[in-house]
Amino acid sequence: MFPNARIPYGTWGSSYFPAWQTSALAEVNIGQFAGESMGRILGLRKVPKSELEYLIIGSTIPWHWKFWNAPLVASCMGHRIPGYHMEQACATGLQAALLAGAEVDSGSNDVVGVLTFDRTSDSPVGVFPERRAHERTQAIADVWDNFGFDPATGNAMITAAGITARKYKCERAETDEVAFLRYEQYFDAKKSGFLERVMVPLNVLNVQGRPLGRIDDDYGVRMVTMGGLRAMRELDTCVTGGGQTHASDGMSTLLVTSKEKAKELSPRPEIDIQFVAKTEARTHPSLMPEAPAFAVQKLLDKTGLTMADMAVVKNHNPFAVNDVIFSKLLDYDWRKLNNTGCPMVWGHPQGPTLTRVLIEALEEAVDLGGGHVLVFGCAAGDVGIASVFKVS
């Protein structure tokens, strides 16, 4: 897939994802923040922003001046280039990278920026004509309304997790074990310095130009104990506060370029990162946690690859249930997933979630000396998305 497109190693970066309402990101126009941050990250990666020809942005939560989409965000970066906005709920972060691959592969542009972001904190309140309410018009907080209500099924996300857990007869003990391991993986990665290679601390200013806050950690994430997880109240089958993700804010960025440009822009031009394949699947109503496994199975069928071929496997897992079900369906030990952390632990800012998953996965693959990288996840609407990359 996209034989002419590459992801130049080491030109990516992400903000940390502070939990909603825990940081200065609750105060900012996230589109502006993302644009300025991308300029900063590219600067730190020694990529002049003048190299960028096109920008694909992805976000799912409305933000002020969103109408002006990618060109405005590019202006905030200080580089007036065209581009567009896309969104696909929690698949946004991966889909945006794939669209950039298509853009480069088509020959339209040689250097395309992928910039995904969202602010769940103080999400905008929309006033909609609303037939659910007797008032006929309701003010609705975007993030919470969508978490709590899939209009196609009438169910909440968490309900879907419970329904799917029951379908696969998941055990609470196992999802607690998954959750515990995920926290251990995250904190081990943090301790090893791995996160510092992909995450960029960012200092946020107020309107007077004075420091408003420093985004230098995934605020709100604390190590858990197995005892603590077990003691948590079950919110639905196999779903507890410890075994599900939380809303957070942040941005994430990477570049997709031609082969030649990848060599030129990467600090390690000998590393080659290619797109291999991508699939999506949609399952039955309110069974979202199984959808990623179907997408991955489809991917394996299409490519002829097996899970044994994967050097790194990493997913967007809003619920520990997702990982358990994936293991059952693909016969793949969940202990081998998500070695450096995952959204269940570090949060769920929607748009950038899978972009961060992707760049962490690629960085890990480089550490391992290359190989196939499988990235997948679920998205609103009982959708699963999966993609394979090759690092060599």
Residues in contact with other proteins by CB under 8 A are: 28-29, 32-33, 36-37, 39-40, 42-43, 47-50, 76-78, 202-205, 207, 209, 211
Q: SS3 string of 237-260?
A: CCEEHHHECCEEEEEEEEEEEEHH
Q: Compute the distance between CA of residue 51 and CA of residue 79 in angstroms, rounded to an integer.
A: 10
CB of 31 to other proteins, least distance (A): 10
Helix residue ranges per DSSP H, 121-171: 142-148, 157-167
CA 303/CA 131 separation, integer angstroms: 46
Q: How far is the CB of 255 from other proteins (least distance, A)?
A: 13
C-alpha–C-alpha distance, residues 204 and 281, integer Å: 39
Question: How is residue 143 written in tokens?
Answer: 């993030």
- Shortest CB 218 distance to other proteins, Å: 18
306: tokens are 């097996």
| Least distance in angstroms from the C-beta of 83 to other proteins | 17
Reported in sequence order, the residue ranges of 216-309 that DSSP labels E, i.e. its strands, are 234-236, 239-240, 249-258, 273-282
Residue 202, beta-bridge partner list: 215
Nearer to other proteins by C-beta: 139 or 205? 205
Q: How far is the CB of 76 from other proteins (least distance, A)?
A: 7
Cβ proximity to other proteins: between 42 and 299 the closer is: 42
Q: Which is nearer to other proteins, 11 or 286 (CB)?
A: 11
What is d(CA 103, CA 210) in angstroms, rounded to the nearest whole number?
Answer: 39
For other proteins, which is the closer residue by CB, 34 or 229? 34
In whole angstroms, the minimum distance from the beta carbon of 82 to other proteins comes to 15
Residue 41 or 366 having the CB closest to other proteins: 41
Query: How many whole angstroms separate alpha carbon 57 and alpha carbon 37?
Result: 13
Contact 17, 201 (CB under 8 A): no
Report the residue number, 28 or 158, with the smaller CB distance to other proteins.
Answer: 28
